[in-house]
Amino acid sequence: MRGGRGNLQRPRAHARKAELAVAAADRLQGRGRCRGEDQRRSERKKSGAAQASQGSRETVNSPAVADFSGKRGLVLGVANKRSIAWAIAKRLADGGARLAFTYQGERIEGNVRELASTVDAPLVTACDVRSDADCARVASEVGEVFGGELDLLVHSVAFAAAEDLEGRFTDTPRERFWMALDVSAYSLVATARAAEPLMEAAGGGSILTMTYLGGKRAVPHYNVMGVAKAALDSSVHYLAWDLGQKNIRVNAISAGPVRTLSARSIAGFPTMEAIVEERAPLRRHITADDVGAAAAYLLSDEARNVTGTTLYVDSGYHAMGM
């Protein structure tokens, strides 16, 4: 009987071992499946994160074009293809705006006409911003080509004698002091006044001008132009108040040093660039296209509740104490 019981127990023991072996194999296989699923989930997450990251880079590197379909604009201050005014004009045209241009002097007329032809501008005309009569004439011509209405006005006009942009501000002669303020500041008032009826007829509009930090702080060699920009800054505030009831917005952009034709006349301009690159939080130069992108926002309906404002496009330099 002992031998019989022993024979019966051995098969049961073998069966139990087999069951344990199968269970262990199942556990190992299950762990393998789990590890495989975990690995696949991890790979999917990494792939998704990579796609999201790539999408973010594509969004950052692809500038959005604001919609200016049906908008009509007047651009003052284009001199050549490197002008800030031209960078703004390109943004507006890319968004569907129809544009008219002015020029001051025969010397740059050819440049302006050539650039204007690339955006099918219906009007290119001379304008002496020192003359109220000339500003009124330009507004009349603009009204004729745009059906008596105007939505956008870009004012990128400034001037000071080259000799007053070096040496001491104290030595600025009276006549050249007033000339700088007339061309650089009062011209905004004159052109805004001339455009007001056209913008009112359009149900509102947006006016944008170009200022600089030198209107708020002393910048070596900027001299009388800084005083003119201070007057321009204040004019933005008062025009915004006067015209706001007609749904006309008035804003300014204060750009950092941008390599334009007018910048060449400022003594020490390369030094200004170097200081911004060294001390601005973003530590990089500003381009005309950077200003154009910011201008497109302020001129667009997306900024419909923004007026009397100065937007700094200077890599953050204005925020620094030194």
- The burial class, CB within 10 Å (0-12 / 13-18 / 19+), for 31 is exposed
- Give the C-alpha separation, 154 to 251, whole Å: 10
Phi-psi region of 125 (alpha: psi -120 to 50; beta: other; left: phi over 0): beta
Q: Which of 293, 269, 284 is nearest to 314 (CA)?
A: 284
Helix and strand element counts for the chain (H, E):
9, 7
Q: Which of 101, 113, 114, 112 is nearest to 152 (CA)?
A: 101
Q: Is 238 a catalytic residue?
A: no
Residue with tokens 């080259």: 162
- Give the C-alpha separation, 68 to 205, whole Å: 12
Residue among 103, 222, 238, 297 flagged as catalytic: 222
- As a whole number of angstroms, the longest Cα–Cα distance in the chain is 134
- Give the C-alpha separation, 256 to 259, whole Å: 10
Instruction: At 86, list the tokens.
Output: 């031209």
- Give the C-alpha separation, 62 to 88, whole Å: 17
Q: Is 222 a catalytic residue?
A: yes
Q: What share of the chain is helix, strand, coil (3-state, %, to 5)?
A: 60, 10, 30
Residue among 212, 238, 312, 317 flagged as catalytic: 212
The single-letter code of the amino acid at 161 is A
Query: Distances in Å between the alpha carbon of 283 and those of 163, 294, 295, 322?
Result: 31, 19, 22, 14
Residues labelled as active-site residues: 212, 222
